[in-house]
Amino acid sequence: MRLFAAICFISFSIFSSQSAFAQSNTKQQTADYSVHTHTIKSAVLNEERTVVVQLPKSYQSEPNKVYPVIYRLDGAGNIPLASAVIERLQNDNRAPEVIIVAIENTNRLRDFYPTVNKEPQGPVGEGGGAATFLAFFEQELIPLINKNYRTHDYKVISGASAGGVFALYALQAKPELFQAHIAYSPAVWWNYGASVKSTKSFIAKTKELNSYVYINIGEEAGIMRERYDDLQQSLQSNKLANLRFFNDAFAGISHNLTSVAGAFNAYHNLFFPKQMPMSALTDDVASIDAYYKTLSQQWGQQISPPDRAVRLLGYNLTDSKLFARAIEVFKYNLKNHPKSVDALSALSYGYEMQGDTRQALEYMDSALAIADDSYPYIDYLKETKARLQIQLNNKR
């Protein structure tokens, strides 16, 4: 509840306009974020479109930093929720700062649905413009955002209901255009479940899909639930390499609130935290390199495996009495941080837990050799060395 209450206080401040857009005006609300409101004369859509761009807090103070971009359908009213959730994740080192681009609607049914609805359940004759709207993204909007802002090549498309259908359509039509697709309660009942059928066909003929997909549903029933369940089961049982798929079902949550209910999980599951979770660690320490390579690709900056993060993996393994694996992780960390007192001390601890007192003492000696009296745990190191020396002498 506190998170949602905080949303009410998220707003924007002034930032200079960019000449690449047809028109631009900004409004100042707080000093935390800056916002641009732009009007684009779209040749693809043959109309003017308005987009709102929220820049991260560090945008002006860190001029060399680049940022992932979240493209949010259905307008700027959706920015505060995404911004509040991602900021909370950032505070826990679980998400990068992002640029949020919100696209205002003119005719959402036309733009979001790839097929014209022929089912009496809905508005007959509407839809069918998703291909053109996606071309607007690819040919005009994304290039303009990339030209005018410091973007990183990691893009998220997010939408609800009809917008969720569009996010899933983008996955199929242009799999590499966006690296993540978020669909809150996608209205897959549309046109006899046409989007479900196309998604299932796409999955069946695709061997590899390096992407992230999040979908959810609320209390919807009837054909919406039936067709959503069909979609969810198809994605859940997929055999596609590198597809990360997550879904939620919220009892008692209305269709219009599924974006609020799902926003945390959508972004929490999407972004890799700087502290690598144990679930990502395999028997091969190469999985650590793979994890931080993906994290760097998401965050838009090179993040090498941090000393403390890797040590925590090793300590988790010692807690589980997996001493050989822990030592392997500690050795990997020491290779990356050869002058780290903490890395040497951790490897010493691993050997001590394994029962190898001689090796434990050797690495404790190495830790003390580079530690000085300013090291906050110098007394612990000295006491540990003395204890290990007594243990080793008693074994002789």
Q: DSSP secondary structure string, 207-273? A: SEEEEEEEEEE-S--HHHHHHHHHHHHHHHT---EEEEEEEEE-TT--GGGHHHHHHHHHHHHHSPP
| Average pLDDT over every residue of 329-358 | 98
pTM above 0.85, yes or no: yes
Q: Tell me which residue has tokens 């859940």.
A: 236
* Residue 156: half-sphere exposure toward Cβ, Cα within 13 Å: 25
| Average pLDDT over every residue of 93-111 | 98
- Phi, psi dihedral angles at 80 (to 5 degrees): -55, -40
| Average pLDDT over every residue of 266-280 | 97
Give percent of the chain above pLDDT 70.
92
| Average pLDDT over every residue of 348-355 | 97
Q: What is the pLDDT of residues 9-43, one digit of tens each?
A: 333 333 333 334 554 545 444 448 999 999 999 99
- At residue 99, the pLDDT reads 98
- At residue 308, the pLDDT reads 97
